Amino acid sequence: MTLILKISFTFTLFYTADTLQCYTCESEECSETTLETCSGGEVCSTMTTVFGHLGTRVSKECITREETCVFMDATTKTSMSGGYSHTSNIAYCCSTDGCNRNTLPALNDKPNKLQCYSCKSEEDKVCNTTVQCVGVEDHCFKYTVPARDGSNDGRHLGCASANVCRTYETSPSTPNFNCCKGSLCNNAMDIGLSSLPLLLGLLIISLV
């Protein structure tokens, strides 16, 4: 009985030491936060995401480091544009109590010197429009989606930050995602952008 109590006490100490208290919020503005005890192995995060014309969302939560955090105790900046679609994200993961209290400012979306081919709308099948990249976007990308019905493949073009390229170029789920450096390096011919919003959504899930 004494041995069982000792084991139980030791486990309790270990479990307590391995859990954090992080700020969490429910609303998109994250105007009200609460301090919540996370599950074992989770860390704290704070994130600010801009969904183009749809607005900005702030989130604070407990997350699993292996699934979400690229770096600890450092900000991760991610951005992707495709003509009429744009999203950017800045995130910070940390591992001390209440370390995600501060709200991160949205990423700078000022135009930079890079230009890439893209589409001007979902209906655009030529996609030879030139888009001005913004902020941390330093690569052009082209994503080819094989057509299931035997018709022409869909190709989706735009601007992306370096960490977006690293994520998608090495992911088994996006084998035809390619990035290049230099203005207009992503050739545009017979393409569309219909699945770009899905890529932008996956970006937020896979990169923090």
Strand ranges (E), the chain? 21-24, 34-37, 42-50, 56-64, 75-81, 86-94, 111-118, 129-134, 139-145, 154-160, 177-180
In 3D, which of 86, 85, 104 has the Cα closest to residue 94? 104
Q: Output the average pLDDT for the chain.
A: 80
Q: Taking the model in full, what pTM does it have?
A: 0.76
Alpha-carbon distances of 190 from 59, 155, 197, rounded to whole Å? 38, 8, 19
Please report, rounded to a whole number, the percentage of residues in the chain having pLDDT higher than 70. Answer: 74
Lowest mean pLDDT among 20-29, 44-53, 66-75: 66-75
SS3 191: coil
Lowest mean pLDDT among 71-85, 154-168, 181-195: 181-195
Calculate mean pLDDT across residues 151-180.
86
Question: Model confidence at 67, in pLDDT bands (50, 70, 90)?
Answer: low
Beta bridge partners of 44: 62, 94
More confident residue, 207 or 47: 47
The 10s digit of each residue's pLDDT in 110-159 is 999 999 999 777 666 777 889 999 999 999 998 877 766 655 556 788 99
More confident residue, 16 or 146: 146
Would you list the domain boundaries of the chain? 21-188
CB burial readout 16-47, b (16+ within 10 A) else e: eeebbebbbbeeeebeebeeeebeeebbbbbb
**For position 8, what pLDDT does the model report?**
35
Query: At the topology level of CATH, where does 21-188 sit?
Result: CD59 (2.10.60)
**For position 151, what pLDDT does the model report?**
56
CA 28 – CA 49 distance, rounded (Å)? 10
**Does pLDDT of 21 surpass 50?**
yes
Residue in this structure with the two tokens 């992503």, named with its chain if needed: 186
Amino acid identity, position 81: S
Q: Sign of the CA dihedral 101, 107, 108, 112? A: positive
**Does pLDDT of 68 surpass 60?**
yes
**For position 149, what pLDDT does the model report?**
62
Question: Model confidence at 11, in pLDDT bands (50, 70, 90)?
Answer: very low
